[in-house]
């Protein structure tokens, strides 16, 4: 489903943030990415949909391949059709209701008829437990509610892969659970997901595979049991000990 080959990203002339990443993710995998801050997790996710243009390497999602050395705008557009991102800070449109936020891409990008987009938006809001707030503006929703709308909005375009960048780290602790539960339900529907998170317990229970990123590389890659219960990499052990405190 997702194939990353020799991906590198350098900011400016010397900050190499991603160092020759190779990664193959299959359909229906739920991949959690762990790692200290500043190790390139967000940059990797953003490269997957060219929100960030890699310095080198190729990204393939579904049947679209984009090579950083020579790519067209059309290829990038095609690549973006395959995925949707859920951001840390929700990034909802402030001047639109929950329903309008979920409808937006269906109407403007996918050119679906308004009535159809609305019906689908209501279905998705129901799925994330936000149907009763469909006419609320973001300013009248809690962070957890906004993020659940953010997830419904990401699903609206029926992406092959859902990308989550620390979807709960901006939330008050008591609101984290409702968002994690929403994501867990999606995982149970066999969606392909890549999720940067510091929620180790969630990664342990919901992910089918865990990656540990360290200094721009994938330093460990395995099942949740291997990576979280029986870490072998010393830096990973140190990271898990640190997070647990
Ligand atoms: N647009 C940018 N310009 C310059 N440096 C950046 C930019 N985005 C990220 N970086 C740098 O790349 C490194 C990795 O960042 P990031 O991918 O956000 O890490 P993580 O998500 O793992 O915390 C950091 O040192 C960060 O300062
Ligand atoms: Mg980040």
Determine whether the shortest distance from the Cβ of 11 to ligand 1 is under 6 A: yes
How many structural domains is the chain composed of?
A: 2
- In the chain, the percentage of residues whose pLDDT exceeds 70 is 100
Q: In this structure, are 70 and 178 located in the same domain?
A: yes
Q: Are residues 143 and 208 in the same domain?
A: no
What's this model's pTM, rounded to 2 decimal places? 0.94
- With a 6 Å cutoff on the Cβ, whether 37 touches ligand 1 is yes
Instruction: Check residue 127 and give its pLDDT.
Output: 92
Instruction: Say yes or no: 168 and 112 in one domain.
Output: no
The answer to the question of residue 134 being in a domain is yes
Domain that holds residue 135: 92-158
Q: Which residue has the higher pLDDT, 104 or 245?
A: 104
- How large is the average pLDDT for residues 117-130? 96
In this structure, are 77 and 165 located in the same domain? yes
User: What's the average model confidence in pLDDT over 209-222?
Assistant: 98
Q: Do 71 and 141 have their domain in common? A: no
Whether residues 68 and 164 fall in one domain: yes
Whether residue 58 lies inside any domain: the answer is yes
C-alpha 11 – ligand 2 centre gap (Å):
15
Check whether residue 78 and residue 170 sit in a common domain: yes
Nearest CA owner, ligand 1 atom 3: 11
Q: Mean pLDDT over residues 11-15, rounded?
A: 89
**pLDDT surpassing 90 at residue 191:** no
Q: Which pLDDT does position 224 carry in this prediction?
A: 97
* Alpha carbon distance 89, 170 (integer Å): 6
Residue 245: pLDDT over 70? no
Domain boundary at 125, 158, 191, which? 158
* Same structural domain, 75 and 164: yes
Q: Residue of the nearest CA to atom 13 in ligand 1? A: 38
Confidence of residue 13 (pLDDT cuts 50, 70, 90): confident
Residue 87 lies inside a defined structural domain of this protein: no
For residues 71 and 166, membership in a common domain is answered with: yes
User: Would you call 6 exposed, middle or buried from its count of C-beta atoms within 10 A (0-12, 13-18, 19+)?
Assistant: middle
Residue 54 Cα, ligand 2 centroid: separation in angstroms?
16
**74's tokens:** 């059309």
Round the average pLDDT of the chain to a whole number and report it.
95
Q: Tell me, what's the pLDDT at 90?
A: 86
Q: Please choose from 7, 14, 34, 42 the residue to mutate so as to test ligand 1's pocket, defined by most ligand atoms within 8 A of CB.
A: 42
* pLDDT over 90 (residue 61): yes
Evaluate: CB of 38 within 6 angstroms of ligand 1: yes
Alpha helices (runs of H) in the chain, residue ranges in sequence order: 41-48, 73-81, 98-108, 114-127, 143-156, 173-188, 200-206, 224, 234-244
Answer yes or no: do 229 and 200 share one domain.
yes
The pLDDT of residue 208: 96
Ligand 2 center–CA 166 separation, angstroms: 7
How many Å lie between the centroid of ligand 1 and the Cα of residue 36?
12
| Ligand 1 atom having least distance to the Cα of 40 | 17
From 138, 158, 178, the end of a domain falls on: 158
Residue 42, ligand 1, Cβ within 6 A: yes
Are 227 and 210 members of one domain? yes
In this structure, the answer to whether residues 153 and 188 fall within a common structural domain is: no
Bridge-based pairing state of the strands 192-196 and 161-165? parallel
Tell whether the model's pLDDT for residue 112 goes beyond 90.
Answer: yes
Each residue's pLDDT tens digit, 140-154: 999 999 999 999 999
Verify whether ligand 1 is closer than 6 Å to residue 39 (CB atom).
yes
Q: Which of 110, 125, 158 is the last residue of a domain?
A: 158
């Amino acid at each position: 489903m997702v194939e990353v080959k020799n991906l590198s990203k350098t900011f400016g002339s010397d900050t190499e943030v991603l160092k020759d990443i190779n990664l193959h993710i299959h359909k229906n995998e739920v991949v959690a990415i762990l790692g200290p801050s500043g190790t390139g997790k967000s940059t990797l996710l953003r490269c997957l949909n060219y929100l960030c243009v890699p310095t080198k390497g190729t990204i393939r999602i579904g049947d679209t391949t984009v090579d950083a050395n020579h790519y067209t705008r059309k290829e990038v557009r095609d690549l973006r059709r395959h995925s949707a991102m859920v951001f840390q800070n929700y990034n909802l449109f402030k001047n639109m209701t929950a329903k309008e936020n979920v409808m937006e891409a269906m109407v403007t990008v996918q050119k679906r008829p308004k009535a159809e987009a609305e019906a689908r938006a209501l279905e998705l809001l129901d799925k994330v437990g936000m149907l009763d707030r469909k006419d609320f503006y973001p300013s009248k929703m809690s962070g957890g509610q906004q993020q659940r709308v953010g997830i419904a909005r990401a699903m609206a375009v029926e992406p092959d892969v859902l990308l989550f960048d620390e979807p709960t780290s901006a939330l008050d602790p008591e609101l984290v659970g409702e968002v994690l539960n929403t994501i867990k339900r999606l995982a149970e529907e066999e969606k392909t997901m890549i999720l940067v998170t510091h929620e180790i317990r969630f990664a342990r229970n919901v992910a089918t595979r865990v990656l540990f990123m360290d200094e721009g590389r994938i330093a460990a890659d395995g099942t949740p049991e291997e990576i979280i219960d029986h870490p072998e990499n010393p830096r990973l052990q140190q990271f898990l000990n640190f997070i647990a405190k």
